[in-house]
Amino acid sequence: MMDVLQWDGTLSAKDFRIGAVAFAQKWESLNLAFPPWSWVPCPKHPWLASPQEEGYLSLEKICISMPQEEDVDQTSQTDPGEEDASCLGNKDVIDDATLVQSNQDGLHHYDFHIVYSNIFKVPVLYFRAYYGDGRPLPLDEIEKELPECSSNELSKSKWTFITQEEHPYLKRPWYKLHPCGTGEWMKLLFLSDTAQPKSQMVVELYLLSWFSVVGQVVGLRIPSKMLNGC
Amino acid sequence: MEAHKYVWEGAIPLQIHLHESQVTTLPPPPPALILAPRIGYLPLLAPLIKPYFSSTLPPGVDTIWFEYKGLPLKWYIPTGVLFDLLCPEPERPWNITVHFRGYPGNVLIPCEGEDSVKWSFINSLKEAAYIINGNCKNVMNMSQSDQLELWSSVMSGNLEAYQRVSSKLKIATVEDEYTSFYASKSQQGIGETDLAGQVKTGRVAVRLYVWSVSEDFDDLEDMPQPDSWEKISYINRPVEIQKEGKCFTLHDALKVLLPENFPDESLNVKLAAVDFENTLKIPSEDVSSDKVGEEQEQNAYKQVGASCVSGSAEIKLIRIQGIEPKLEIPFSWVVNNLMNPDYFLHICVCVKVPK
């Protein structure tokens, strides 16, 4: 715990690991229509001594259906048994979405990784999108599937909002949400959290709060009950 | 700052061959001979290269990319660094192959020409500013015209123009230990007390490229070249220089960056330097420095224990801007004179690891 007023919004690699585990557990315990996040450890090369195991959180093979005006986080109300458990989207809307998508080259899949940035000392969301056959989805296709405010932002700040960079561990091109500024808005988020008795930065809540903002950019919303239960 | 000028004027002679799959004329075109600035990036050479080959290219859209001995070259790494890394025994001219088709999108990030390179440069600059100053506001708030001027100064290799614009960014530079030491010595009577009481800290942005070999070799000629990106680790590390009278050398910096390689000496490594995961948390007003010092000391010895046990690697070669600097050189001099325009110091290291 740390007094938010003295805090710069960042967290250490060790705290990232703690926060990641807490986030994954909370996510799984809510039994949403999503598969669980898994922690992927990364072995370091022998000549780079690292005090603790490095790794990242992974959520893969998510199908995103076309964004709708209705609140996407109604997934928690859908019956997981009646649809592919890895798809999100309002149940009423899925039929339309599936119809549209079957006219295209099949479903679009997304992989999401939450990776710690050594430079900015915050988590970073990396993602990639591909067709069912594994071919990468071009950015203009991804843009169509992002929530409207994200695609607006993308057209305004083409090079600084979502950038394509090398995944730090997998060494392949992935998309990434640029992390500069994260420290600042995380601090604001904690400062404005009236549910906490005092302004305390709790490591276990860091990733949840972070994801509640960042997930929305790519159309993944955390249902409010996940945040309220803390 | 003469050395800085040499760095900016440094160039790699390239002999660029068009890949045979794209040659449609007989006889095939001769290779293009181009002098590539060390601090520049390969895609920026496209306007110079294309005229050599445009008459022989097959019809279609051109997307330029380069490869060396089958290895696609990562375009966002400065040309000089690519050369130092992939050509430890310097090949002059450096024979590389250019492609205009078949961009390997599963390995290389797409490059849409000059804009991609510019933004990659600006993002690096942001990272360096964040490491050094603790925030990248100055870079983010650069005016359009300053941004253009900065980028064009890098593209044209104009050091004066670059220094004019980059000084506005107020990215802290580490004080040059060499000159300050001699400057204070020459001041009558004030010199020694000043130096003794001074504890200067500075943070440095380092990009480390490490590749490993398992065999020993005598000559650079026998050194195996890295032939795949899997064999090269590319890491960003902040290095904190903490001086307490004693000079912080390149050797000290390497001990921080690659502690595994100095098993016997790591016991002497300064406390702040070893715990680099937490180096940015300089003891602040709300935490007692004594307690933090103690924790860091415990961490330092834990880490030292780990590196002694797991077997040592050995540094075989270090290259910065094409030179192999002596390890005794003050690190501040190395940083101030050999860093790239993105404020990163790019260091290529070859390490021998036990099999």
Contact A46/B311, CB-based, under 8 Å?
yes
Pairing relationship of beta strands B71-72 and B94-99 according to DSSP bridges: unpaired
Residues of chain B numbered 11-50 and touching chain A (CB < 8 Å): none
**Which residue on chain B is closest to A2 by alpha carbon?**
B286
Residue of higher predicted confidence among A33 and B310: A33
Nearest to A180 among B115, B126, B285 (CB): B126
Residue A138 forms contact with B (CB below 8 Å):
no
Residue A6 forms contact with B (CB below 8 Å):
yes
**Which residue on chain B is closest to A4 by alpha carbon?**
B286
**Which residue on chain A is closest to B238 by alpha carbon?**
A119
Nearest to A159 among B109, B119, B299 (CB): B119
CA distances (Å), B179 to each of B174, B186, B251, in order? 12, 11, 19
* Backbone Cα Rg of chain B: 22
- Whether residue B322 is predicted with pLDDT greater than 90 in this model: the reply is yes
Q: What average pLDDT is seen over chain B?
A: 79
Could you tell me the pLDDT band of residue B264, with boundaries at 50, 70 and 90? low
* DSSP for residue A76: G
**Taking the CB of residue B163, how many other CB atoms lie within 10 A of it?**
14
pLDDT of amino acid A46 = 59
Strands, E assignment, A65-122: 87-88, 108-116
Strands, E assignment, chain B: 11-18, 32-37, 65-68, 71-72, 94-99, 201-213, 232-242, 314-319, 345-352
- Whether residue B178 is predicted with pLDDT greater than 90 in this model: the reply is no
Pairing relationship of beta strands B345-352 and B32-37 according to DSSP bridges: unpaired
Question: Looking at CA atoms only, how far is residue B338 from chain A in angstroms?
Answer: 21
pLDDT of amino acid A72 = 41
In order, the DSSP letters of B51-114 are HHHTTTSPSS----EEEETTEE--TTS-HHHHHHHH-SS--SSEEEEEESS---TTTS----TH
Pairing relationship of beta strands B201-213 and B345-352 according to DSSP bridges: parallel
Per residue in A48-83, is it b (16+ CB within 10 Å) or e — as a string?
Answer: bbbbeebbbbbbeebbbbbbeeeebbbbbebeeeeb
* DSSP for residue B241: E
Nearest to B277 among A12, A46, A120 (CB): A12
- Whether residue A94 is predicted with pLDDT greater than 90 in this model: the reply is no
Residue B311: left if φ>0, alpha if ψ -120 to 50, beta else—which one? left
Q: Position B81: which residue type?
A: V
- Whether residue B278 is predicted with pLDDT greater than 90 in this model: the reply is no
- ipTM more than 0.85? no
Please check whether residue A14 is in contact with residue B275, taking contact to mean a CB–CB distance below 8 angstroms: no
**Taking the CB of residue B329, how many other CB atoms lie within 10 A of it?**
17
- Asked which of B28-37, B164-173, B332-341 is least confident by mean pLDDT, the reply is B164-173
Could you tell me the pLDDT band of residue A47, with boundaries at 50, 70 and 90? low
Mean pLDDT over B235-239 rounds to: 83
Residues of chain B numbered 186-245 and touching chain A (CB < 8 Å): 210, 212, 229-230, 233, 235-238
Of A2, A48, A50, A166, which to mutate for an interface test with B (greatest number of B Cβ within 10 Å)? A48
Question: Looking at CA atoms only, how far is residue B313 from chain A in angstroms?
Answer: 6
Q: What is the pLDDT of residues A59-79, one digit of tens each?
A: 998 886 544 433 344 333 333
Q: Position B245: which residue type?
A: G
Residue B303 forms contact with A (CB below 8 Å):
yes
Contact B210/A171, CB-based, under 8 Å?
no
Angle, nearest 10°, between helix axes A203-217 and A182-191? 120
Catalytic residue, from A42, A87, A180, A230: name it: A180
Told to judge if A42 belongs to the known catalytic residues of this protein, a careful annotator would answer no
How many separate helices (H) and strands (E) can be counted in chain B? 13, 9
Contact A48/B258, CB-based, under 8 Å?
yes
Rounded to an integer, what distance in angstroms lies between the CA atom of residue B343 and that of residue A79? 53
User: Would you report the helix, strand and coil content of chain B in percent, each value rounded to 5?
Assistant: 45, 20, 40
Please check whether residue A212 is in contact with residue A185, taking contact to mean a CB–CB distance below 8 angstroms: no
Question: Looking at CA atoms only, how far is residue B63 from chain A in angstroms?
Answer: 16
Residue of higher predicted confidence among A118 and B86: B86
- Asked which of B88-102, B117-131, B261-275 is least confident by mean pLDDT, the reply is B261-275
Mean pLDDT over A152-160 rounds to: 71
| Residue percentage of chain B with pLDDT more than 90 | 48
Residue A156 forms contact with B (CB below 8 Å):
no
Residue of higher predicted confidence among B128 and B177: B128
- Asked which of A118-122, A196-200, B112-116, B120-124 is least confident by mean pLDDT, the reply is A196-200
Contact A51/B105, CB-based, under 8 Å?
no
* Backbone Cα Rg of chain A: 18
Nearest to B136 among A46, A164, A180 (CB): A180
**Helical (H) or strand (E) element with B343:** none
- Reading the block at residue A152, the tokens are 């607006």
Which residue has 């195991």 as its token pair? Answer: A53
Could you tell me the pLDDT band of residue A93, with boundaries at 50, 70 and 90? very low
Residue A192 forms contact with B (CB below 8 Å):
no
Closest of B92, B1, B99 to residue B42, by C-alpha: B99
Mean pLDDT over B263-286 rounds to: 38
**Taking the CB of residue B347, how many other CB atoms lie within 10 A of it?**
26
Q: What is the pLDDT of residues B125-174, one digit of tens each?
A: 999 999 999 888 899 899 999 999 999 999 999 999 999 999 999 888 77
Please check whether residue A163 is in contact with residue B123, taking contact to mean a CB–CB distance below 8 angstroms: yes
| pTM for the full predicted model | 0.79
**Which residue on chain A is closest to B254 by alpha carbon?**
A48
Please check whether residue B215 is in contact with residue B224, taking contact to mean a CB–CB distance below 8 angstroms: yes
Q: Position B295: which residue type?
A: E
**Helical (H) or strand (E) element with A159:** none
